[in-house]
Amino acid sequence: MFNLLKKEKISPNDKPLITIVVATFNRADALALTLRSAIAQTYKNWHMLVIGDACTDDTERMIETLHESRIQFINLPERFGEQAGPNSVGIALAKGDYVAFLNHDDLWLPTHLELAVDTFRSQGGDLYWSRAAFYTNRGPRLDLPMFVEASPIARSIEDAYDAPFYYSEPISSWVITKQALELLGFMRLSSEISVVPIYDYVVRAHEIGLTLCASEQITVLKDNMNQVRLPREETLPHYSITCQYNHCLIDTIESQDVALLKAKIDNDLWLSQQLNMNRSFAPQLKTNQTNASRIRRNSGIDIIKLKAQSSRTHFMGRLGIALKGRTGESLSFQPKLEEMIQFAKRQLD
């Protein structure tokens, strides 16, 4: 492990520019609420790049109705089928001192960006993770979300090696310095690796020596709607299921009075734990992922990458299953990232 970055804290009077990168595909109704949670941020010095993964719905028209000049929409001509591609396009276009990621169906509490900047200001560091509360609307009230689990306190990049891939999720909790991002590079696509892209990304962050500032506060709400499915929804793609239950959350966020919401999160998490509804975020002792990660950590040999180079079954398998669940579609190949970056740059010229 090595570290080439010079650690500098933000001056108390500085208001650094944050680029927010949002990857999206055909979920304009959910995206509208997500963007409203960004607009409601107490920290105002940001601009946003919404990167469409070849959207065919009314995403562009919906963004126009927000009348927010800080938001730019670029719709790619070819489909990656996952967030790693559009996120990487956004990374290539980012102009801010910091880059924050926001999934198209996640929500930020109003102080998310402000707390990130304050943490960088007080601690320095390269990468910031807030905590996230994961929720579903599959409780006794279909119009009321239930929070079922939350990111653990005191997460570390080191522990991410041996933890489940969702240990470092969602990427909506990530804010990273532009300097660190230039060293880390783009996210690798599923067609290039045999693990979840966010897991590969955090392992690479550790290998180049990025330092993490992990907040104890929950400022991200992640829609985990696929965790529990009703019988009538078993064959429906996730993206086709309405997200009307999110309106109560965005209304609270926009009111800037989130005390009751935080109390609900605490109460729901307690109940979820009693009902054993939450997944374990703890590092795993015996899995193929952890064995491969230990080999990579101790010898530098990337077994996962070698397997990916010798077979494409991982791509068609894992990404294909995810796509079928989300949209019901299939995908046989992914476009070249550099071509999509050049296309996006031309849209901004």
Kindly state whether residue 294 falls inside one of the protein's structural domains.
yes
User: What is the predicted pLDDT for the residue at 264?
Assistant: 92
| pLDDT average, residue stretch 145-168 | 86
Residues 128/72/239/261 CA torsion (nearest 10 deg)? 50
Three-state secondary-structure class, residue 22:
strand
Q: Is residue 52 part of a domain?
A: yes
The packing angle between helices 197-207 and 288-299, to 10°, is 20
Residue 315 neighbours by CB distance under 10 Å: 21
Residue 143 falls within a domain, yes or no?
A: yes
- Of 225, 224, 228, nearest to 241 by C-alpha is 225
Residue 154, CA distances (Å) to 134, 168, 281 in order: 17, 12, 12
* Residue 181 within a domain: yes
Query: What is the amino acid identity at position 166?
Result: Y
CA 248 to chain centre: 22
Structure tokens at 50: 């919404």
| Structure-block tokens of residue 67 | 């009348």
Instruction: Give the type of residue at 139.
Output: G
Radius of gyration of the chain (CA): 19
List phi, psi (to 5°) of 319. Answer: -65, -35
pLDDT, greater one: 39 or 297: 39
Strands 18-24, 146-150: parallel, antiparallel or unpaired by DSSP?
unpaired
For the segment 80-89, what is each residue's pLDDT rounded down to a tens digit? 999 999 999 9
Is the pLDDT score of 244 beyond 80? Answer: no
- pLDDT for 195 equals 80
Which residue range forms the structural domain that includes residue 153?
18-330
If one counts the domains in the chain, the total is 1
Give the domain CATH number at 278.
3.90.550.10
Q: Tell me, what's the pLDDT at 62?
A: 97
Output the pLDDT for position 276. 84
* Structure tokens given for 60: 């562009």
Q: Decide if 342 is inside a domain.
A: no
Q: Is 99 domain-assigned?
A: yes
pLDDT band for 1, please (50, 70, 90 cuts).
Answer: very low
Count Cβ atoms below 10 Å from residue 206 Cβ, excluding itself.
18
Q: What share of the chain is helix, strand, coil (3-state, %, to 5)?
A: 45, 15, 40
Poorest-confidence range of 45-59, 122-136, 164-178, 231-245? Answer: 231-245
Residue 170 preceded by cis peptide, ω within 30: yes
- Summarize pLDDT for 281-290 with one digit per residue, the tens: 766 654 555 5
Judge whether 20 and 225 are in contact, CB under 8 Å.
Answer: no
Which of 46, 39, 101 has the alpha carbon at shortest distance from 250?
A: 39
Q: Is residue 6 part of a domain?
A: no
Residue 312 pLDDT class (50, 70, 90 cuts)? very low
Of the pLDDT bands very low, low, confident and very high (cuts 50, 70, 90), residue 304 is low
Q: Please, what is the angle between helix 28-39 and helix 247-255, to 10°?
A: 10
> Closest by alpha carbon to 76, among 340, 327, 346?
340
Residue 43 lies in a domain: yes
Model confidence pLDDT, tens digit, residues 114-144: 999 999 999 989 999 999 999 986 555 666 7
